[in-house]
Amino acid sequence: MRRAVRFSGFGGQGIILSAVILGRAAVMYDSKFAVQTQVYGPEARGGASMSAVIIDDDPILFPKVTIPDIYVIMSQEGFEKYGAQAQTEAVMLVDSTLVHSRPDCTCHEIPATDQAKQTLGKPIVANIVMLGALVGLTHVVSETALEKAILDSVPKGTESLNQKAMKLGIELAREKNPS
């Protein structure tokens, strides 16, 4: 099953790292094919950034995400630039702490930055909270694959914090969609 996921936010939020982790989870731990692309402006930290991942059971011949079916939006500017035109069939997760607009598609409000700050004391792991929520809501990769990919990707010494952030995201997703 082909899934196209677009992440957007501002530089410094870990938007590109999130896509890399998701792609790694799919390829290395769920035996799927994946390709990841990224875009960020010249201002890098603080400016809008976007990264996308295609995950498929079959080889991917064209690497560009043209119409995402899943969005993960972590800033208002990211929404305006990369999420406002979402198709009505899409699913969007927004960091409700920082994104004030809402799309016409199915939207899940995840207070990632607020919860990362309040629960974990580290707003820097909001992207990992969003990854946990993404997997909890969409099952685009398995929870086990995501956790292994996170542990492979985060700086040494932060593994426990990032595991807690992922689990917090999964819990927030379950609160939104208890199934």
The predicted-structure confidence for 115-146, as pLDDT tens digits, reads as follows 999 999 999 999 999 999 999 999 999 999 99
Distance CA 137, CA 128 (A): 14
At residue 6, the pLDDT reads 97
pTM of the model: 0.94
Break the chain into its structural domains and give their ranges.
3-176
Helical pair 126-138 and 15-24, crossing angle rounded to 10 deg: 40
Give CATH for domain 3-176.
3.40.920.10
Q: How confident is the model at residue 46 (pLDDT cuts 50, 70, 90)?
A: low
